[in-house]
Structure 1
Amino acid sequence: MNRGELLRRYVFFIVGLFVNSLGIALITKGDLGTSPISSIPYTLSIGFTPSLGMFTLYYSLLLIVLQLVILRKRFPKQFWLQVPVSLGFSYFIDLSMALLGFLNPQGYPAKAALLLVGCVVLGIGVFMEMAANVVMLPGECTVKAISTTWNTDFGKTKVAVDVTMAASAAVLGLILYQELTGVREGTFVSALLVGAIARTVHRWINPRVQTLLTCTPAPMEQEAK
């Protein structure tokens, strides 16, 4: 992989990271719960001072520590890229929440519509991150660490991890607020739809995206000819 391709992939990844944060913000603004990966930070942000982005950063760092415990000496050096990525992702989440501050849907149909739009946007963001193939967010890296260590299927492990995160957020909400706060039907809808949307987008446009990311400009001599 030459420098030009690597640069294009990182730019594509960063754009995907912002799209991902925008999807999370849209789902959260729908007020029907948030995505499983954000459920614990969102539940904490409801009753405490730090923002959703900051709690996401703390949670991401905790997941990185968990990966270190699981993988130990097998922790890949490139996994350290999760630290700056987590910083950027947390900033993007707070930025997206601020940009969408005007959204305050009233009524269940409007909230459901915003949830679905958020799932589509988040699915596109997830596709972009995977297509860039340079680094993963802590949630995906944690799934990778578990599936590698115990030889489990990545897809099934991700579902199990998502369910565990959502269940933990639900318990946390009950302990802190005596009600299910932050985890609602939207959490499970996003868990079902986002992956399916990402896979659909992958089938539709991934070959073209990979062509754009890997293309090498023609030499000046060939262009002149």
Structure 2
Amino acid sequence: MSKKELIRRYLFFLVGLFVNSLGISLITKANLGTSPISSVPYTLSIGFAPTLGMFTLAYSVLLIVIQLVILRRRFPRQFWLQLPISVIFSWFIDVTMEMLSFVQPQGYPLKFLSLLVGCLILGFGVFMEMAANVVMLPGECTVSAISTTWNTDFGKTKVAVDVTMAVSAAVLGLILYHALTGVREGTIISALLVGNIARTFNKGIGSWVQNLLGEEELPSAEQA
């Protein structure tokens, strides 16, 4: 891979990271729960001072520590890129939450519409990250660590990890607030929709994007 292509891919990834954070923020603003990967940070941010972005950063560091425990000496050198990427991603979340401060949907239909639009944006952001094929966020790297160590299917492992995150957030909500705060139907809907939306973009414009970035073949859609 040439240096120019690598630069293009990292720039594309960073734009995808921003789109990803925009989708998460809009889903959160719908007030019907948030995406599984953000469910624990969001639940904590409801009752404590640090922002959603700051809790996301702390949660990302925790996931990286879990990867180190699982992989030990087999921890790939490129996985350390998760640290700066997590800082940028967390900052993007706070920026987009501020950008969308005017979004306060009233009534269930508008909240549901905001949720669906957020899922569409998040799905496109996931597609962009997948198409860039340079680095993964801590959530996906954790799935990769588990599937590599215990030889499990990446897609099924991702579903299991997402469910674990959502259940953890639900338990935290019950302990801290005595309610399912932060985990609602929107969490389930986003878990079901986002991956499929990313795969749809992959099939529709994936080849064109890869030509733009300088590579003919896409990475596996199983990583969506």
TM-score (norm 2): 0.96
**Counterparts of 2:193 and 2:147, CA distance in 1:** 22
Q: SS at the partner of 2:135? A: coil
Deviation at 1:188, TM superposition (A): 0.2
Deviation at 1:181, TM superposition (A): 0.2
Q: SS at the partner of 2:205? A: helix
Partner of residue 29, structure 1: 29
Deviation at 1:143, TM superposition (A): 0.2
**Counterparts of 1:167 and 1:13, CA distance in 2:** 29
Partner of residue 173, structure 2: 173
Partner of residue 161, structure 2: 161
Q: SS at the partner of 1:114? A: helix
Residue 206 in 1 paired to residue 192 in 2?
no
Q: Deviations over 1:105-125 (max 9, x none)?
A: 000000000000000000000
**Counterparts of 1:72 and 1:29, CA distance in 2:** 38
Partner of residue 50, structure 1: 50
Deviation at 1:66, TM superposition (A): 0.2
Residue 99 in 1 paired to residue 99 in 2?
yes
**Counterparts of 2:200 and 2:156, CA distance in 1:** 18
Structure 1 outlier segments of 4+, above 6 Å: none
Deviation at 1:212, TM superposition (A): 0.4
* Within-5 A mapping of 1:63-74: 63-74=63-74
**Counterparts of 2:88 and 2:168, CA distance in 1:** 25
Larger Rg: 1
Partner of residue 88, structure 1: 88
Partner of residue 193, structure 2: 193
Q: CA RMSD in A?
A: 0.5
Identity %: 75
Deviation at 1:69, TM superposition (A): 0.2
TM-score (norm 1): 0.95
Letter in structure 2 aligned against 1:12: F
Q: SS at the partner of 1:180? A: coil
**Counterparts of 1:85 and 1:5, CA distance in 2:** 19
Partner of residue 218, structure 1: none
Partner of residue 61, structure 1: 61
Partner of residue 222, structure 1: none
Residue 5 in 1 paired to residue 39 in 2?
no
- Structure 2 residues without counterparts, runs of 5 or longer: 216-224
- Number of positions where the alignment pairs a residue of Structure 1 with one of Structure 2: 215
Q: SS at the partner of 2:121? A: helix
Residue 76 in 1 paired to residue 69 in 2?
no
Letter in structure 2 aligned against 1:117: V
Partner of residue 149, structure 2: 149
Q: Deviations over 1:144-189 (max 9, x none)?
A: 0000000000000000000000000000000000000000000000
**Counterparts of 2:130 and 2:64, CA distance in 1:** 19
- Structure 1 residues without counterparts, runs of 5 or longer: 216-225
Partner of residue 108, structure 2: 108
**Counterparts of 1:22 and 1:191, CA distance in 2:** 16
Deviation at 1:102, TM superposition (A): 0.2
Deviation at 1:127, TM superposition (A): 0.4
**Counterparts of 2:37 and 2:82, CA distance in 1:** 15
